[in-house]
């Protein structure tokens, strides 16, 4: 279904307003978050996209969002909340989208869902490691959970936190990929970092 420009503007404004209202009801427990001027790639699961958005409103970070129509519905409210967006896929090496994502990674904090946009859920695709290596900026994994939430019946079990819940976010230490040899072993290492972080989240 193709939406008109007027409908997209309304969705952008209304979506952002509803997210700001929801955020006012939520408590946040944040562990080990780096300063906003520390250039890095934040890596978090696709299902946690809304949790990360609520947690980081106004941070001026750049979020990689699919160039699909579904991505457009996400990008509008996200931009309204103060984020930058880079549109496209991190797996398209050599494309204009990839070059834009790489440029953003060198200029500001970048947010990537390494299992998106279509999964499999919680399986890291290689794009995030390649961007880290090419831009020479570290990756920081972010594990998140909500004390009360609705789960969508989607491939990733997308999370919608309920009002008056607590969102917990735990940041890993920076993971650097400085050589091609380190690039070859990065994915299993990052997967292990994610697993260890999630084990620290409250049940």
Displacement of CA 71 from its chain's centroid (Å): 13
Phi and psi (nearest 5°) for 34?
-70, 165
The backbone region for 145, taken as left when phi is positive above 0, alpha when psi lies in -120 to 50, beta otherwise, is: beta
Contacts of 13 (CB under 8 A, 6+ apart): 80
- Using pLDDT thresholds of 50, 70 and 90, give the confidence band for residue 113: very high
Instruction: Name the strand (E) or helix (H) holding 100.
Output: helix 96-107
The model's pLDDT over 50-76, given as tens digits with 9 standing for 90+, comes to 999 999 998 889 988 877 767 778 888
**CA separation for the pair 97, 117 (Å, rounded):** 14
Give residue-wise pLDDT tens across range 161-203: 999 999 999 999 999 999 999 999 999 999 999 999 999 999 7
Parse the chain into domains and list their residue ranges.
5-198
Instruction: Round to whole Å and give the CA distance between 159 and 182.
Output: 33
CA distance 94 to 135: 14
SS3 177: coil
How much is the pLDDT for 47?
A: 95
pTM of the model: 0.91
Higher pLDDT, 109 or 9: 109
* Residue pair 181/148 in contact by the 8 Å Cβ criterion: no
For 82-86, 92-96, 183-187, which range has the lowest pLDDT when averaged over its residues? 92-96
CB-count burial class (<10 Å; 0-12, 13-18, 19+) for 11:
middle
**Percent helix / strand / coil, the chain, rounded to 5:** 40, 20, 40
- Angle of helix 186-198 versus helix 127-135 axis, rounded to 10: 110
Regarding predicted confidence, which is higher, 192 or 87? 192
Q: What is the mean pLDDT of the chain?
A: 91
With beta carbons less than 8 A apart as the criterion, state whether 63 and 86 touch.
Answer: yes
């Amino acid at each position: 279904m193709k939406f008109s420009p007027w409908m997209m503007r309304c969705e952008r404004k209304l979506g952002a307003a509803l997210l700001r209202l929801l955020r006012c009801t939520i408590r946040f427990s944040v562990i080990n978050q780096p300063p906003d001027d520390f250039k890095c790639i934040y890596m978090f699961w696709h299902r946690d996209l809304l949790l990360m958005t609520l947690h980081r409103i106004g941070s001026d970070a750049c979020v990689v969002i699919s160039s699909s129509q579904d991505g457009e519905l996400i990008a509008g409210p996200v931009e309204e909340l103060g984020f930058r967006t880079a549109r496209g896929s991190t797996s398209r090496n050599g494309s204009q989208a990839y070059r834009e994502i790489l440029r953003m990674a060198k200029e500001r904090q970048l947010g990537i869902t390494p299992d998106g946009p279509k999964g499999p859920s919680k399986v890291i695709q290689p794009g995030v490691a390649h961007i880290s290596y090419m831009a020479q900026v570290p990756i920081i994994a972010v594990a998140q959970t909500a004390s009360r939430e609705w789960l969508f019946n989607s491939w990733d079990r997308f999370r919608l936190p309920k009002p008056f819940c607590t969102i917990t976010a735990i940041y890993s230490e920076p993971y650097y990929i400085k050589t091609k040899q380190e690039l070859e072993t990065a994915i299993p290492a990052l997967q292990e970092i994610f697993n260890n972080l999630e084990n620290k989240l409250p049940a």
